[in-house]
């Protein structure tokens, strides 16, 4: 929101103090309050001399919303009692002596290219997407449902974008911070979720979101039973029509914004050029102009559209990722970084009434066997092999994690189920200087508690920043100019690095 009428207390150039407080809500065209501050210098911590610093030139983040069970993915417990191990077994992998869940046979074959962490842990067993993706020190259900709450901290991709701009990096041909396949939780028929936003850095550092509206073409297991006939059960993560395009929402005029209205917005922004120059000086006014340039270019350029034209990809490549929304979005992520993107996030998000996400309180096994594990297994393994074949894996960091894990003991819900659990869970990483063929940490005999080398989500952020050439000790200014550490309490975990 940009308020035009303010209080009579005006500054020397006619801009009111209250007007300054209302700058920043125009989305991609926003003037973010944080633009009034300068970026603090990187701390003299010797990050540049540490192993792997800057090894990754780009990053793909795969986020599995709802939280996969560690027992059926990367930390199976085949010797545990049945109520713990469940009804799925464990299989051998490319790493001698290391087993993962039987539902991931393709991933098992490429595990030697990855590092699996079996000792992820934190104290918040709720869907804290913002906790997993930012340096925020704590999270609760109230703040989780308010993406624009003033206490939120910025998303890792937003910080990458912000720091690149402030360092004077040239205007990119492809936005530095992109997220697929649609705005987080916008298809879930209930409240939005915090996490992937610029927050106090300004709304202009939100990811550029793609948009996918087509329904799935296959009935899949759902929250309420094995199958169904309602449209709610046609989850596109089960299967989509390969002819359906992935569209970029920010390159299209929103339905409610006419061309005339867009031009008037552009004119309005131009009217504030002199005020902008007064606030930030000539150099920073030029920086802001580059943000405007990105917005305008997304409306006129074919760079991003071309990258998202997955129909032009070879059919065998498309098939290898799986003809699912997650699979094709993951393929699109590879195309975007190949076109010059810096940080691309793919969400496996809820569809309709939470149907299809990884929050398996009910019908755990039907959903794992027929929807979740096959879709992830195809997409993840294909991405790693595709990047490797193109000579891109060494410089592309691939992060895959979620907000927490699931309870060791199965509940008695229909189809089985596991509740929320954050004391011990798993994640997997590859490329960009991550060690190949390594398992870090471990959990106890039932997968309930970490027994060695606990790793915090904040540590993952710190390690990712390090690999991307950003000192984890860097700070950014909050809404009132106080320095905030970009990873919170996160520490670089060298045991993850090659």
From the list 91, 128, 89, the residue with the least C-alpha distance to 401 is 128
From the list 298, 287, 254, 260, the residue with the least C-alpha distance to 32 is 287
Domain boundaries, position 181: 46-496
Both structure tokens of 181: 């396949």
In a domain, 317, yes or no: yes
In a domain, 9, yes or no: no
278 phi/psi in degrees, rounded to 5: -65, -40
- Where residue 357 falls (left for φ over 0; alpha for ψ -120 to 50; beta otherwise) is beta
In a domain, 77, yes or no: yes
pLDDT for 306: 87
pLDDT for 273: 44
pLDDT for 226: 55
**pTM attached to this predicted model:** 0.84
Residue 98's CATH number:
3.40.720
CA distance 224 to 235: 14
pLDDT for 234: 86
In a domain, 76, yes or no: yes
Split the chain (498 residues) into runs of 10 and give each run's mean pLDDT: 30 37 33 36 50 94 98 98 97 98 98 98 95 96 88 97 93 91 86 91 93 84 64 82 71 43 43 42 43 53 83 95 96 96 96 82 94 98 98 98 98 95 98 98 98 98 98 96 96 97
In a domain, 38, yes or no: no
pLDDT for 337: 97
In a domain, 311, yes or no: yes
In a domain, 435, yes or no: yes
In a domain, 41, yes or no: no
pLDDT for 409: 98
CA distance 385 to 113: 9
pLDDT for 173: 84
Domain count, the chain: 1
CA distance 11 to 389: 58
């Amino acid at each position: 929101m940009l308020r035009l009428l303010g209080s009579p207390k005006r500054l020397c150039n006619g801009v009111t103090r209250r007007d300054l407080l209302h700058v920043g809500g125009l989305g991609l065209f926003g003037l973010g309050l944080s633009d009034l501050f300068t970026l603090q210098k990187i701390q003299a911590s010797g990050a540049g001399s540490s192993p792997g610093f800057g090894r990754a030139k780009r990053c793909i983040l795969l986020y599995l919303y709802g939280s996969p069970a560690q027992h059926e993915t990367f930390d199976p417990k085949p010797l545990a009692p049945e109520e713990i191990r469940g009804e799925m077994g464990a299989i051998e992998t490319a790493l001698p002596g290391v087993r993962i869940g039987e539902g991931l046979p393709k991933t098992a074959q490429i595990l030697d290219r990855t590092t699996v962490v079996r000792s992820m842990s934190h104290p918040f067993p709720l869907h804290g997407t913002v906790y997993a993706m930012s340096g925020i020190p704590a999270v609760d259900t109230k703040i989780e449902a308010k993406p624009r709450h003033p206490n939120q901290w910025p998303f890792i991709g937003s910080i990458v974008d912000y720091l690149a701009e402030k360092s004077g990096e040239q205007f990119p041909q492809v936005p530095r911070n992109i997220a697929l396949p649609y705005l987080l939780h916008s298809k879930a028929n209930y409240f939005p979720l915090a996490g992937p936003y610029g927050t106090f850095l300004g709304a202009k550092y939100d990811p550029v979101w793609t948009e996918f509206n087509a329904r799935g073409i296959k009935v899949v297991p759902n929250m309420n039973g094995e199958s169904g006939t309602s449209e709610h059960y046609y989850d596109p993560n089960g299967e989509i029509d390969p002819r359906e395009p992935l569209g970029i929402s920010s390159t299209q005029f929103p339905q409610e914004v006419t061309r005339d209205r867009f031009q008037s917005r552009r004119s309005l922004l131009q009217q504030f050029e002199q005020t902008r120059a007064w606030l930030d000086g000539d150099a920073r006014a030029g920086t802001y102009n580059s943000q405007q340039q990105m917005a305008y270019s997304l409306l006129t350029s074919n760079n991003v559209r071309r990258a998202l034209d997955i129909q032009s990809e070879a059919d065998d490549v498309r098939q290898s990722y799986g003809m699912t929304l997650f699979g094709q979005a993951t393929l699109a992520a590879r195309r975007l970084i190949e076109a010059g993107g810096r940080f691309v996030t793919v969400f496996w998000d809820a569809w309709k009434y939470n149907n299809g996400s990884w929050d398996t309180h009910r019908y755990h096994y039907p959903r794992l066997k027929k929807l979740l594990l096959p879709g992830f297994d195809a997409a993840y393994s294909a991405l790693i092999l595709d990047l490797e074949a193109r000579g891109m894996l060494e410089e592309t960091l691939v992060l895959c994690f979620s907000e927490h894990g699931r309870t060791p003991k199965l509940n008695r819900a229909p189809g089985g189920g596991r509740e929320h659990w954050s004391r011990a869970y798993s994640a997997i990483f590859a490329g960009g200087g991550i060690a190949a063929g390594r398992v870090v940490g471990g959990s106890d005999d039932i997968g309930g508690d970490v027994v060695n080398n606990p790793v915090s989500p904040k540590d993952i952020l710190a390690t990712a920043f390090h690999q991307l050439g950003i000192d984890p000790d860097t700070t950014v200014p909050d809404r009132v100019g106080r320095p905030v550490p970009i990873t919170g309490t996160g520490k670089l975990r060298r045991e993850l690095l090659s």
